[in-house]
Amino acid sequence: MRTINMWNALLAGLLIVGSGGAVAAHKGTADQQREIPVCGKDTKVAKPNDDMIYTLKEKKRRGCVIDIKALHPTQSAVGMLAAACKSAKVSARAAAGELNDYLLADNRWVPVVRGPGGVFYLTDHHHLTVAVWNAAIDDKDKKVYAYLLDDWSRLPENAFWERMERMHRTWLKDPAGKPIVPSQLPSEIGKLQDDPLRTLSAWVRENCGYVKCDPPGTAKGDDEQSCADRTCEEKFGSKKVPCANAYFIEFAWGAYQGEVPEVKAALGDDAACSQQSPMNQTCLDRQYDRLLKALPAAMKATATIEAKTAVEKLARGKDTGGEAGKNVSVGHNPEVQTPLLPPRCVLGDGR
């Protein structure tokens, strides 16, 4: 099995490079000392436990390390401002010599599917990979740890994408919400577009505008004090808020919020920023100010019964109608929450 040669000096104190060149954790249990190879044709599909959770032990046992450039997105856009905040954190961790430990954490392993031609498709953590791509570290060290959900590499291209859609492993819409075909997806992480509404949707979620609760072992945000982590199915005033269980719920809420007249007026027509490395701090600052103006209106609109009905319709999509569609929860919170202001992120160089 092919292995990587070396991470840079930033990580030297945190990694042990074995004689074959594979990456291993610098300290910890025997399991943590296990070599982690490069993702390739020999990478094994990870197995969830009885609760359908991929444990950290299993990720380390069957997982691999992959260059950001080798990952293919399964969605067209991310919230670039949200990714910029993560990128600043990645740069700071790297400067402190803590990046490897940061990326080895359970909730930062990225899930992938192996498709035709052995291509690895990223099915979650697009924001994290954009953050690493734009961080102040050498290009050759822009890597993440991954675990393989499925190996569908023997499927013909059309059958592969049909299965990806059926299994909710891809979001085939552009930032405007219009359907796209797989060939229109970005070919690499560095070509993902910016969707300001995805950032706005994340802000609304963090302020309990809607509730999405992540089970153990799944992707979570970096903010351990976020509303969604604290208040799953807890009381807001006199009501309980059921956690969202619909796929791609952040996109669905963002699409709805983008139709609110006050949100449209606050954002204008040119709110999106590029994600070319380095990110454009001036554009991100301008977008932050616009999103800040849009946030109160988005919070108010999200609490309405009209919002619940509209987002349920968006979340059901073409594959979950009928009886199955009736069970879709979008995490609707009917009580308007007063938002806390999200931080203004400054990229810096992290050094």
Residue 147: give its domain's CATH number.
Answer: 3.90.1530.10
HSE at residue 318, side-chain half, CA atoms within 13 A, is 6
* Domain match, 290 and 221 both: yes
* Domain match, 137 and 47 both: yes
Token digits of residue 213: 């609760």
The CA distances from residue 127 to 77, 133, 337, in Å, are 9, 10, 26
pLDDT digits 0-9 by tens, 226-280 = 454 445 445 455 567 788 888 899 999 999 999 999 999 999 999 999 877 678 9
Instruction: Give the pLDDT score at 155.
Output: 98
Residues in the chain, pLDDT under 70: 1-34, 214-239, 277, 317-326, 348-351
HSE at residue 337, side-chain half, CA atoms within 13 A, is 24
Boundary of a domain, candidates 193, 214, 244: 193
- Rounded to whole angstroms, how far apart are CA atoms 109 and 64? 9
pLDDT digits 0-9 by tens, 8-33 = 433 333 333 333 334 544 333 344 44
β partners of residue 126: none
Residue 335 lies in a domain: no
Residue 349 lies in a domain: no
- Rounded to whole angstroms, how far apart are CA atoms 209 and 257? 11
pTM equals 0.84
Instruction: Give the pLDDT score at 275.
Output: 79
* Domain match, 115 and 52 both: yes
* Domain match, 258 and 312 both: yes
β partners of residue 310: none
For the chain, the distance separating the N- and C-terminal CA atoms, rounded to the nearest angstrom, is: 34
Instruction: Give the pLDDT score at 128.
Output: 96
Instruction: Give the pLDDT score at 4.
Output: 39
The CA distances from residue 147 to 12, 109, 178, 245, 348, in Å, are 23, 7, 30, 23, 31
Closest-CA residue to 39 (of 104, 139, 110, 103): 110
The CA distances from residue 148 to 10, 85, 182, 306, in Å, are 27, 27, 20, 39
* Domain match, 188 and 213 both: no
Residue 3 lies in a domain: no
Residue 348 lies in a domain: no
Residue 56 lies in a domain: yes
Closest-CA residue to 153 (of 47, 77, 39): 39
Structural domain harbouring 270: 196-326
* Domain match, 123 and 241 both: no
Q: 3-state DSSP call for residue 72?
A: strand
Count of domains observed in the chain:
2
- Burial (CB count <10 Å: 0-12, 13-18, 19+), residue 107: middle
Instruction: Give the pLDDT score at 327.
Output: 72
Boundary of a domain, candidates 126, 160, 193: 193
Boundary of a domain, candidates 148, 163, 193: 193
